Amino acid sequence: MTTEIRTALAQYIAKEILQQPKRVIAPDAPLISSGLIDSFHLVDLGLFVEDKFGVRIDDAELNKETFDTIEQLTAIIVERQ
């Protein structure tokens, strides 16, 4: 399950946010603190997570303190599912 979530997140970020579909994103690669994902796309990521996994990420949680990597975001999703 964890692997599937990680893969889905990595694919979404590579394809929709970075526009590099073939791009591989490591589970521990920083996303927000590295500037890979900006504020506008964080909102997109929040909507994607809710649609795909039925887990709501509150707007106040869209920051690097809550999650900065695919690994951390996956943990939040698993915990709330």
Partner 1 sequence: MPTFSHVLQRAYAECPDRVAIHLLQNRQEDAPITYRALLSGGAGYARALQAAGVGAGDVVIVIVQHSAELMVAFWGAVLHGAVPAIMPFLTEKLAPERYRQDLTALIETTRPAAIVTYPEFAGEISGALSALSVQTKRPPLVVSADVSACEPDFDGLGGLERAPDDIVLLQHSSGTTGLQKGVALSHRAVFSQLDHYARAIHLTQDDVVVSWLPLYHDMGLIASFIMPILTRVPLVLLSPFDWVRAPYKLLHAITRYRGTLAWLPNFAYNFCAQKIRDRDLAGIDLSSVRALINCSEPTYWASHQAFLGRYAQYGLRAEALTTCYAMAENVFAVTQAGIDAPVTVDEIDQRGLLIERVARPPTDGVSGMKLLTAGRPLPNVQVRVVEDTASIDGQHHDLPDRAIGEIALRSDCMLTGYYNRPDITSKAFDDGWYLTGDLGYLASGELYVTGRKKDLIIVGGKNVYPQDLERLAGEVPGVHPGRVVAFGVLNADAGTEDVVVVAEVDTTDEIERDAIGDAVRRYVTQSSDVALRVVRIVEPRWLLKTSSGKIAHAANRDKYLAENQTPEVTP
Q: Which of residues 3-62 bind partner 1 (CB under 8 A)?
A: 19, 23, 32-36, 38-44, 47, 50, 59-60, 62
Contact 13, 37 (CB under 8 A): yes
Considering Cα of 15, then 19, then 24, then 30, what sign does the dihedral take? Answer: negative
Helix and strand numbers (H, E) in the chain are: 3, 0
DSSP one-letter code for 57: P
Q: Which is nearer to partner 1, 20 or 81 (CB)?
A: 20
- Residue where the block lists tokens 């996956």: 74
User: What binding mask, one character per residue, do residues 61-80 give for partner 1 by CB under 8 A, x or -?
Assistant: -xxx----------------
Least distance in angstroms from the C-beta of 26 to partner 1:
11
Could you list the residues that contact partner 1 (CB under 8 A)? 19, 23, 32-36, 38-44, 47, 50, 59-60, 62-64
